[in-house]
Amino acid sequence: MGRVSLEGIEFHAYHGVFSEEKKLGNRFTVDMHVDTDFKKAMVDDDLESTVDYFKLYTIAKAHMQEPVKLLEHLGHLMLLDILKHYPDVKHIEIIIKKHNPALGGVVNYSVVKVAYPQDYE
């Protein structure tokens, strides 16, 4: 068992409930962790035997470009897309941070974490 991760992927996107979030956008950071069996990739040096982190980046980027209201929903969509491409993975964790959320005070970021399988049992 092993883990393929991307951490600190940054985007400017337009997710949120409030009209100013949809108009001005915000800075977001995404972390993706995928646990899978990549013993064959370790031995054979074959990308097809593991989770391709370029594909993970492509999934994150595609979903960050499609505005949604809730980060929970955004994480769910990313997770489903990863499962579509890699149905045999054992665990997925998506962490999405919205920097400086418009809450009327100083807040570094809000955070949502979505995980498979625990959020889907």
For the chain, how are helix, strand and coil distributed in percent, rounded to 5?
A: 35, 35, 30
What is the domain count for the chain?
1
Q: Quote the pLDDT of residue 59.
A: 98
Return d(Cα 121, Cα 107) in angstroms, integer. Answer: 32
Identify whether the C-beta of residue 16 lies closer than 8 Å to the C-beta of residue 69.
yes
Q: Quote the pLDDT of residue 15.
A: 96
What does the pLDDT average to over 14-19? 91
For residue 6, give the CATH number of its domain: 3.30.1130.10
What does the pLDDT average to over 27-49? 96
What does the pLDDT average to over 81-91? 96
Q: Quote the pLDDT of residue 4.
A: 97
Return d(Cα 97, Cα 101) in angstroms, integer. Answer: 9
pLDDT band (50, 70, 90) for residue 1:
confident
Active site residue 40: no
Cis? peptide before 117, omega within 30° of 0: yes
| Collapsed DSSP state (helix, strand, coil) of residue 20 | helix
Question: Whole-number mean pLDDT of the chain?
Answer: 95
Q: Quote the pLDDT of residue 21.
A: 85
What does the pLDDT average to over 72-82? 97
Q: Which domain holds residue 108?
A: 2-120
Side-chain-side CA neighbours of residue 108 (13 Å): 2
